[in-house]
Amino acid sequence: MTRLILLNKPYDMLCQFTDRGSEGSPRATLSDVVKVAGVYPAGRLDRDSEGLLILTDDGGLQARISDPKHKMEKSYWVQVEGHVTEDALTALRAGVMLNDGMTRPAKAEAIAAPEGLWQRIPPVRFRKSVPDSWLKLTIAEGRNRQVRRMTAAVGLPTLRLIRVQIGDWTLEGLAPGEWRFATPPPPEPVTPFATKGPKPGPRPHGSLGLAGPKARARKSFRGGGGRA
């Protein structure tokens, strides 16, 4: 039976179970909080980002969640330097040009500071002369550090980044480092084979089927291991 875990990944935690190549390193990993064998992250969340991370033992489900071709939406609360302007939101909604190409259009809105949000450890470093504000950004891509690069492209450097939703799963009720089991989604529907209809009539000589009287009979092959 598929297992699916929702974790609120704390700031400064690596999105992996071991800190490979750094024996004795003090860096926190997923193994510090998730004591369940055989589950692995579906996608990633940067060390300096916080929030929702999904872990599962189902490889197919991992792909559905993490592979951008499935276009599963992921939502973030983003604290930025500066005021969120309508021009910045319009640009994010249209897609912005990054060094690896144009992004897909995002859903973007200015929000108030989220109520009851935990304090980050260590706290965010602010500049007294620069205001800060919040926005909610929803994307269906998975480029490296994409949200940070998108906000920077519209003049709003990211100070704090929290993923709050992936598809229908949310961070609700989870403090940093806490996790819970969740219900996996139903499997993707299988496309049925086409219904058999009447056999097509003979094709005219010269067509791709070569069904005319002078057509050479096709050879029949049995066995073999080839795959088209």
Is 132 catalytic? The answer is no
> Where, residue-wise, is CATH 3.30.70.580 in the chain?
1-70+167-188
pLDDT computed for residue 23 by the predictor:
61
Give the right CATH number for 73-166 from 3.40.50.150, 3.30.70.20, 3.30.390.10, 3.30.70.1560.
3.30.70.1560
Per-residue pLDDT 10s for the chain (228 aa) are 899 999 999 999 999 998 875 566 788 999 999 999 999 999 999 999 999 999 999 999 999 998 888 889 999 999 999 999 999 999 999 999 999 999 999 999 999 999 999 999 999 998 889 999 999 999 999 899 999 999 999 999 999 999 999 999 999 999 999 999 999 888 776 656 544 455 555 544 443 333 344 444 443 333 333 334
> Where, residue-wise, is CATH 3.30.70.1560 in the chain?
73-166
pLDDT computed for residue 119 by the predictor:
94
pLDDT computed for residue 197 by the predictor:
52
- The one catalytic residue in 46, 57, 132, 168 is 46
pLDDT computed for residue 54 by the predictor:
97
Class of residue 189 by CB neighbours under 10 A (exposed 0-12, middle 13-18, buried 19+)? exposed
Q: Which CATH architecture has domain 1-70+167-188?
A: 2-Layer Sandwich (3.30)
Say what the pTM is: 0.80
pLDDT computed for residue 201 by the predictor:
52
